[in-house]
Amino acid sequence: MIYDVIIVGAGPAGLAAGLYASRARLNTLIIEKDGDGGQIATTDEVANYPGSIENASGPSLIARMVEQVNEFGAKKVNDEIKSVEIEGKIKVLKGAKEEYQAKTVIIATGATPKPIGCPGEKELTGRGVSYCATCDAAFFEDLEVFVVGGGDSAVEEAMYLTKFARKVTIVHRRDELRAAKSIQEKAFKNEKMNFMWDTTITELKGDGILESMIVKNVKTGEEKEIFADEDDGTFGVFVFVGYNPATKLFDGIINMEDGYIKTDDNMNTNVPGVFAAGDNRVKSLRQVVTATADGAIAAVQAEKYINEHFED
């Protein structure tokens, strides 16, 4: 079977693309190698997605998106794409289970935040450990927060967190920031900002919620444990050490910038009939709301491409 559109990835971008494509009566297939939802599936509460119900969680939001996609007849399969031949008129995607063909492809493979890589991090993600300040800052109102990283994103996110947290400390493995000088100047002037130089976090601890962390001075080797304030019971650790876009499959075929797919405003890549949507794309804001917008645009443009390049 040759599908009208194949969407690789079932996060918010892929599901939004699937919804718009299937509603347009396109024969649509969504391929996901893991579970639905991407990063948002691990988020306990989504308060900044317009129209989401009170106390909406990442899983509940994704479940509703999946329901909508199913209602309009999109097909979904679990498979891992191993190789692609997408430069011809008919696109071929070879999975671990079978081979798929389509007139258009939407790449919605997402990106994942780079972790610290220390014990306790995975278990406490969403329970004190976060990778998105705009998503989770409000949960740390009047609490103490630590930000890991020293680049532009880390410092900008740390300053954003000062609007909510009582105290924000940047934990950086070097003795100076890598962020642009203009950003650094603002950070150093902010009274809520503090800096822990030459330091890494080696372990995060807590029983269901982040309660303490062990930090190590990389120059002296000295380790110490930092505990949450007794009255607070917890604190926040926000990690901003970069992202890993899931785009390796398309190396040498799709134009990229630092691993992110380059598109125009209509989600077109350099390969005709191939579109990209969501966090794997070069963009300024990676959030559920921008991912779903990308997916909608990509699907509409895929329909337009099919109408222009394929006869009924």
How far, in Å, CA of 299 to CA of 234, rounded?
43
DSSP label at residue 125: B
CA distance 182 to 244: 26
Q: Are 233 and 206 in contact (CB under 8 A)?
A: no
Both structure tokens of 158: 């740390």
Max Cα-Cα span within the chain: 71
Closest CA to 253 of 110, 132, 105: 105
Q: How far apart are CA 260 and CA 84, in angstroms?
A: 18
How many whole angstroms separate alpha carbon 197 and alpha carbon 214? 15
DSSP 96: S
Location of structure tokens 């599901």: 15
Q: Which residues contact 296 (CB under 8 A, 6 or more apart)?
A: 16, 17, 19, 20
Task: Count CB neighbours of 309 within 10 A.
Answer: 12
Catalytic sites, residue numbers: 132, 135-136
Could you give the CA distance from residue 274 to residue 251 in angstroms, rounded to a whole number?
14
